[in-house]
Amino acid sequence: MSEETAPYGSGAAAPSSEPSPAPVRKVRTHHLREMKERGEPITMLTSYDMYTAQIFDEAGIDLLLVGDSASNNVFGNETSLPVTVDELVPLTRAVARSTRRAMVVGDLPFGSYQASPEQGYLTAVRFMKEGGAHCVKLEGGAEMAPVIRKCVEGGIPVIAHIGFTPQSEHTLGGYRVQGRGDAAERVLADARAVQEAGAFAVVMEMVQADVAAKVSAELEIPTIGIGGGNGCDGQVLVWTDAFGIRTGRMPRFVKQYADVRTVLLDGAKAYRDDVKARTFPGPEHSF
Ligand code: KIV
């Protein structure tokens, strides 16, 4: 397909006579377990669309989470609570279609799994069937064990999410570090319960570093920290935080690796100035 006949905005690979790229070994649950066993840190980022999925996959990120944080980062809500399954499934589909190696994680949103194991299973099926996810993530510890068990028995790999769970922000009294003092036992008990229920990994959010390290050392399944310190088996960040799209106060656990907002802002201003000055389009852009 020539440059001129490529469909507008199409990022999809054009048919070509070039040999197709070598097949890629997809990340599977057992690879993550093996990485833990050999002490190789696991990487995870959120992704909500085709281009970031392509880029993060190419960068070698192991897991792409189509997080319910899309609520704030795509749909403009203040919290993760309003986002729905109907909104997240198409984003998951876009990420799954655009990924060759990474494991794609569908994130079950608030209210879509807490009512019963059956509700959780049916929601998870939607993420796998319609969204093309390779596994799902859900928030909660021991109390979610029956939901995790039901999904795993029904053929759906599950990542649990314990410690600070944003969907319960109103119950937990806001964004607070979990596992301090006596609460360490609760984090440990939740971690044991989700492993026992069949989760293949567990995200630990805003858990005191020594507690997260203790959990990671005890569990057989990998732990993935976000504000859980360096003793976890892997790390996850929300991409809009890590690459400088989002503005405002960042949580302490975020490290900013790029300033994409400034790049886009400068580009948009340069375009605006060119159009206003009639220096774009030039003869080379005209027919
Ligand atoms: O939805 C999300 O982005 C998450 C991360 C905070 C792990 O659950």
Q: What would the pLDDT profile of 29-82 be if each residue is shown by its tens digit?
A: 999 999 999 999 999 999 999 999 999 999 999 999 999 999 999 999 999 999
pLDDT at 10 over 70: no
Task: Measure the CA–CA gap between 234 and 53, rounded to whole angstroms.
Answer: 19
Q: What would the pLDDT profile of 83-140 be if each residue is shown by its tens digit?
A: 999 999 999 999 999 999 999 999 999 999 999 999 999 999 999 999 999 999 999 9
Catalytic residues: 205
Q: Which of 52, 65, 243 to mutate to test the pocket of ligand 1 (most atoms within 8 A of CB)?
A: 65
DSSP tag of 251: P
Residues annotated within the binding site for Mg(2+) are 68, 107, 139
- pLDDT above 90 covers a percentage of the chain that reads 84
* Both tokens assigned to 213: 């390290």
Cα Rg for the chain, rounded, in angstroms? 21
Could you tell me if the CB of 203 is within 6 A of ligand 1? yes
Could you tell me if the CB of 237 is within 6 A of ligand 1? no
Residues 169/149, Cβ–Cβ less than 8 Å: no
Q: What would the pLDDT profile of 185-221 be if each residue is shown by its tens digit?
A: 999 999 999 999 999 999 999 999 999 999 999 999 9
Task: Specify the fold of 29-256.
Answer: TIM Barrel (3.20.20)
Could you tell me if the CB of 241 is within 6 A of ligand 1? no
Q: What atom in ligand 1 is closest to the CA of residue 203? A: 7
**Residue whose CA lies nearest to ligand 1 atom number 1:** 67
Q: Where are the beta strands (DSSP E) in the chain?
A: 42-46, 63-66, 103-107, 135-139, 158-163, 201-205, 223-226, 234-237
Q: What would the pLDDT profile of 132-169 be if each residue is shown by its tens digit?
A: 999 999 999 999 999 999 999 999 999 999 999 989 87
**Torsions phi, psi of 240, nearest 5?**
-65, -25
Torsion 94-223-172-148 (CA) sign: positive
pLDDT tier, 268 (very low <50, low <70, confident <90, very high otherwise): very high
pLDDT at 17 over 80: no
Instruction: Write down the pLDDT at residue 251.
Output: 92
pTM of the model: 0.92
CA distances from 127 to 106, 160, 243 (A): 6, 16, 27
Residues of the chain with CATH 3.20.20.60: 29-256
Task: Measure the CA–CA gap between 137 and 130, rounded to whole angstroms.
Answer: 16
Residues 32/201, Cβ–Cβ less than 8 Å: yes
Instruction: Write down the pLDDT at residue 16.
Output: 57
Task: Measure the CA–CA gap between 222 and 175, rounded to whole angstroms.
Answer: 24
Q: What atom in ligand 1 is closest to the CA of residue 69? A: 1
**Torsions phi, psi of 191, nearest 5?**
-60, -45
Q: What is the distance in A from the centroid of ligand 1 to the CA of 154?
A: 24
Instruction: Write down the pLDDT at residue 1.
Output: 39
Residues annotated within the binding site are 68-69, 107, 137, 139
Instruction: Write down the pLDDT at residue 8.
Output: 52
Residues 171/148, Cβ–Cβ less than 8 Å: no
Q: What would the pLDDT profile of 221-250 be if each residue is shown by its tens digit?
A: 999 999 999 999 999 999 999 999 999 999
Task: Measure the CA–CA gap between 4 and 87, rounded to whole angstroms.
Answer: 34
pLDDT at 15 over 70: no
**Residue whose CA lies nearest to ligand 1 atom number 4:** 67
- pLDDT above 70 covers a percentage of the chain that reads 94
**Could you write out the DSSP letters of every residue in 181-227?**
TTHHHHHHHHHHHHHHHT-SEEEEESB-HHHHHHHHHH-SS-EEEES
Q: What is the distance in A from the centroid of ligand 1 to the CA of 196?
A: 23
Q: What is the distance in A from the centroid of ligand 1 to the CA of 238?
A: 7
